[in-house]
Structure 1
Amino acid sequence: MIYAILLMDRPGTADLRVQIRPEHRAYLAQQADRMAFAGPLTSEDGKTVVGSLLALDFPNRAAVDAWLKDEPYTKAGVYEKPVIHAFNNMWAQKAGFPPA
């Protein structure tokens, strides 16, 4: 089942986010075959990162929680309390979206 995971950053963690990013990306890469999408959420300027949005396939919610517990940004205290929901993709993804 796909789980959508909304992770907002704690205030004042921008520098910590940058410091931990390589470890975070390596951890995500271990799940590449189960990832529908993942990326940073930004403010309206399109540059200031305020959190992350992930959609990954896990067998159950307990597996999501276990994976997230060891996620580097979570361990470092970058994220506030996650919002996690099962997600049913009802719209086919478009290759090359969004258009350049």
Structure 2
Amino acid sequence: MIFAILLMDRPGTAELRIQVRPEHRAYLGKLADKMAFAGPLTSEDGKTTVGSLLVMDFPSKVDVEVWLADEPFTKAGVYEKPVIHVFNNSWQQQVGFPPVK
């Protein structure tokens, strides 16, 4: 089942996010084959990170919650309470859009 996971950063955690980012990316990398897409959410300047959006395949919402409990940004206190919903993709994904940097 595909889940959309919205994770907003707690105020004042920008430096902590930078410090923990390598662990976060390594943790995500372990489930790369289960990931439709993932990336940071930014303010309108396109530079200031305010959270993350993950769209991933898990057997159940409980499995998402267990996985998130061990996620480095979660453990470090970067994220506020996650918002988790089942996601039904109704639009064909465009190859290469948007370009990965």
- TM-score normalised by the shorter chain: which range applies? over 0.9
Deviations 1:9-56 (A, max 9, x none): 000000000000000000000010000000000000000000000000
3-state SS, counterpart of residue 23 of structure 1:
helix
Q: Aligned ranges for residues 1-100 of structure 1 at < 5 Å?
A: 1-98=1-98
Relative to the length of structure 2, the TM-score reads 0.96
Deviating more after overlay: 87-96 vs 72-81: 87-96
Structure 1 outlier segments of 4+, above 2 Å: none
3-state SS, counterpart of residue 64 of structure 2:
helix
State how many pairs are aligned.
100
Structure 2: how far apart are the matches of 1:63 and 1:81? 16
Shift in Å at residue 92 of structure 1?
1.1
3-state SS, counterpart of residue 4 of structure 2:
strand
C-alpha RMSD of matched pairs (Å): 1.2
Relative to the length of structure 1, the TM-score reads 0.97
Structure 1: how far apart are the matches of 2:32 and 2:98? 20
Q: Which runs of 5+ in 1 are unaligned?
A: none
Structure 2: how far apart are the matches of 1:57 and 1:83? 15
